[in-house]
Chain A
């Protein structure tokens, strides 16, 4: 399953917005097959921040671990936010370059 983050906005900031987005994602997740990868595509995101990322990306990571794949993470605020989330939570995200 692929989630296009730009559908949630191109300026992804604040915990509240993150929580709302996380809730909006939930119904789709129920349709995933066992073992299926959950791909998050950051393409089109202009600004990304740790509070939003913590509510969505880290919450998904806690459930899907290495099955959570992060794609198109070249935007600088995406890069720096993901690095910080890895550092504070002592985890490593599974990143994949776009083919």
Chain B
């Protein structure tokens, strides 16, 4: 049976006031379904996911709440990949969409492979070691041309210290992950995926905002990468790729 969400539950998921949902329904901005004789408003999970897919502001806010909060908020299953197999199938779906994006042309494969590296990094480095919720948040908005990938994993500093114990803080870890070639990283066969992502972002003029721990980095077509302390602290990784 498909779960129904009443207006209070739906408002909680979207982080809006129930009154806002009533107004959106009346104004046909986001229509509710009606139940029973009294006509109580309700929503299916797919209704909420459709709304989030079309309204980037709310999708990003949900991703931030899921990723940064002490306890993860509910996320519609459309945006949650519990394991790498789910992510793989959804990455393929994104590839098909991007392949038909005329503005990207042949660069579709570079965007897809960059998203694949970020998402698969989460699974590769946290398997068996997720602090609470396994898996990743993966959502995108085609109109805004933004892709969000995040996890509640151990973060770059913790996982990179297995290969580079001397790393002192999150900012150093981000710099190493994005700029330094790291080889012979036993016991973990860790790749250089984030360096690839940086190279692609700089080469074809994308923008990447990447958060981990207490640090954040922004990468664009400029040669310099800007690493700074983040206003928000998180344990895992949070990335927005704009294409």
Closest to B115 in A: A13
Q: Which residues in A have their C-beta under 8 angstroms from that of B243? A: none
- Tell me, in angstroms, the Cα distance from A48 to B196 when the chains sit together: 12
Output the least CB separation between A82 and chain B (Å).
11
Q: Which residues in B have their C-beta under 8 angstroms from that of A48? A: 109, 113
Output the least CB separation between A13 and chain B (Å).
3
Q: Which of B84, B120, B183 contacts A88 (CB 8 A)?
A: B183
Q: Which of B113, B123, B189, B199 contacts A49 (CB 8 A)?
A: B113
Whether A51 touches B183, Cβ cut-off 8 Å, given contacts A80-B196, A84-B195, A88-B192, is: no
Q: Which residues in A have their C-beta under 8 angstroms from that of B99? A: 46
Q: Which residues in A have their C-beta under 8 angstroms from that of B40? A: none
- Tell me, in angstroms, the Cα distance from A16 to B120 when the chains sit together: 9
> Contact residue range for chain A?
20 to 34
Q: Which of B84, B88, B113 contacts A81 (CB 8 A)?
A: B113
Output the least CB separation between B218 and chain A (Å).
21
B179 CB–A CB distance under 8 Å: no
The secondary structure that dominates the B interface is: helix
Which residues in chain A, 42-99, are within 8 Å of chain B measured between CB atoms?
A: 46-51, 54, 75-78, 80-81, 84, 87-89
CB pair A51–B95 under 8 Å, yes or no, is no
CB pair B117–A49 under 8 Å, yes or no, is yes
Chain A residues close to B by CB (< 8 Å): 11, 13-17, 46-51, 54, 75-78, 80-81, 84, 87-89
A-B complex: 10 closest residue pairs judged by Cβ atoms: A13-B116, A77-B109, A14-B120, A49-B113, A77-B113, A47-B112, A51-B191, A50-B196, A47-B109, A88-B181
CB pair A51–B117 under 8 Å, yes or no, is yes
Q: Which of A11, A13, A88 contacts B117 (CB 8 A)?
A: A13
Q: Which residues in B have their C-beta under 8 angstroms from that of A46? A: 95, 99, 109, 112
Closest to B182 in A: A88
Q: What are 12 inter-chain pairs, A to B, with CB distance below 8 A?
A: A11-B91, A14-B123, A16-B84, A16-B123, A17-B88, A46-B109, A46-B112, A49-B116, A49-B120, A50-B191, A81-B113, A87-B181
Besides A15-B191, A48-B113, A50-B191, 14 other CB < 8 A contacts? A11-B91, A11-B92, A13-B112, A13-B113, A14-B84, A14-B120, A49-B196, A50-B193, A51-B120, A51-B121, A51-B191, A51-B193, A54-B191, A75-B109
Q: Which residues in A have their C-beta under 8 angstroms from that of B92? A: 11
Q: Which residues in A have their C-beta under 8 angstroms from that of B116? A: 11, 13-14, 47, 49, 51
Q: Which residues in B have their C-beta under 8 angstroms from that of A76? A: 106-107, 109-110
- Tell me, in angstroms, the Cα distance from A16 to B95 when the chains sit together: 19
B200 CB–A CB distance under 8 Å: yes
Q: Which residues in A have their C-beta under 8 angstroms from that of B106? A: 75-76
Q: Which of B95, B123, B189, B200 contacts A11 (CB 8 A)?
A: B95
